[in-house]
A and B are shown apart, each in its own frame.
Chain A
């Protein structure tokens, strides 16, 4: 993915944050990677599929609960986190960031939301 393309620029915004191990643009419908900038060793394909599935479950649960579509979600783990925002026209994409534990989550969230506008 060229850094000059909208998606490349979107991923650049996210991965330049200290503590981010990688970022992906994922198709929401099928969980396939559209673009990625991941550190070596990260199983992008499998994580993209899981992120897409989780996003779908959360989306349906939140809409059912009357909260509207999910705008950001954050999976907190012992040694890092997975952060996701919807992107693209009609939110057909997901922007996914994989981070270390000591990352500034607020900053990554901000960059994800900015990147979502860029990618759209």
Chain B
């Protein structure tokens, strides 16, 4: 343990109510000791639940650990407490960029710039989003493997019905299909609780092929996602593999951008599960 960490730990131990946990958590994050950093941030949040900087710290720890879903939640909370929080605005811009929602990314960056016009990192981020920093940066990278780590369940093969084990809504709003529309995993229920898994799966057969054909005809490259807004909720479709289709369904309270993040995470889980079935 470095002297800095020891010193800050000692300071925090002597005054648990102090805000030194922010510096200690940040230092541990920079040293990539994410578990320790997360513990420090969470203990700090227990004492200061309405401190925007503490939520921002925890979000950055989650983001560095590739836990983008929780990072989103924490930055979202930061903005509820402090709507002009530059760190949270930049963080959310980063997450939207990663899922390819450039409009949302740019919108959050613009809000960050309005709040902190002299921050040079915002212009750099704008350059990346607009592709001015080179094509390798302009293309959102695929979600890293660690995004989908769900405790020990990623290690052992899962039984068929548990393809989405550990993911929110696995038995009511997630569905994995093969190219012919046969259900491989997950389940769908209407808001009233009726099981509509098979009916929805049947209607979605062929969506992958038609999306790919439309993209090809328009010279748009490969399709990455298909989102649809309904009166009672949203759906997001992605292709975990060329032979499969994943549908994520949520009510309208969940923004489409967030739905995209969840879908990418579920697709990664599905991809690993499909590989294990071979």
Binding site for B on A (CB under 8 A): 42-43, 46-47, 50-51, 53-54, 57-58, 60-62, 64-82, 98, 101-107
B228 touching A64, Cβ below 8 Å? no
**Are A72 and B229 within 8 A (Cβ)?**
yes
Binds A, one of B6-14, B15-23, B27-35, B197-205: B197-205
Give Cα distance in the complex from A67 to B199, angstroms.
14
A67 contacts B231, C-beta separation under 8 Å: yes
- Is B228 a contact partner of A62 (Cβ separation < 8 A)? yes
A61 CA / B233 CA spacing, docked (Å): 12
Shortest A98–chain B CB gap in Å is 6
Complex contact B230–A67 (CB within 8 A): yes
Q: Are B215 and A102 in contact (CB under 8 A)?
A: no
Contact status B228-A70, CB under 8 Å = yes
Contact (Cβ within 8 A) B200 A64: yes
Once bound together, how far apart are the Cα atoms of A106 and B105, in whole Å?
11
Indicate if the CB atoms of A80 and B214 lie closer than 8 Å: no
Structural contact, A66 and B192, CB atoms closer than 8 A? yes
A68 touching B230 in the complex, CB below 8 Å, given contacts A57-B204, A78-B224, A101-B102: yes
Cα–Cα, bound, A72→B233 (Å)? 11
* Complex alpha-carbon distance, A104 and B101, angstroms: 9
Output the nearest chain B residue to A73 by Cβ-Cβ distance.
B228
With known contacts A65-B190, A66-B191, A106-B103, A75–B217 Cβ distance under 8 A: no
B218 within 8 A of A: yes
A71 in contact with B210 (CB, 8 Å): no
**A residues in contact with B200, CB < 8 Å:** 61, 64-65
Q: Provide the bound-state CA to CA distance between A57 and B209, in Å.
A: 12
- Chain A residues near B44: list those with CB within 8 A: none
CA distance A50 to B220 in the complex (A): 14
Known pairs A47-B214, A73-B227 / 13 extra A-B pairs, C-beta < 8 Å: A46-B217, A58-B207, A62-B228, A65-B200, A67-B230, A67-B231, A72-B229, A73-B229, A74-B256, A75-B225, A76-B100, A78-B221, A98-B218
User: Which of chain B's residues have a CB closer than 8 A to the CB of A105?
Assistant: 101-103
Q: Which residues of B contact A71 (CB under 8 A)?
A: 229-231
Q: How long is the Cα–Cα vector from A72 to B131 in the complex, in angstroms?
A: 27
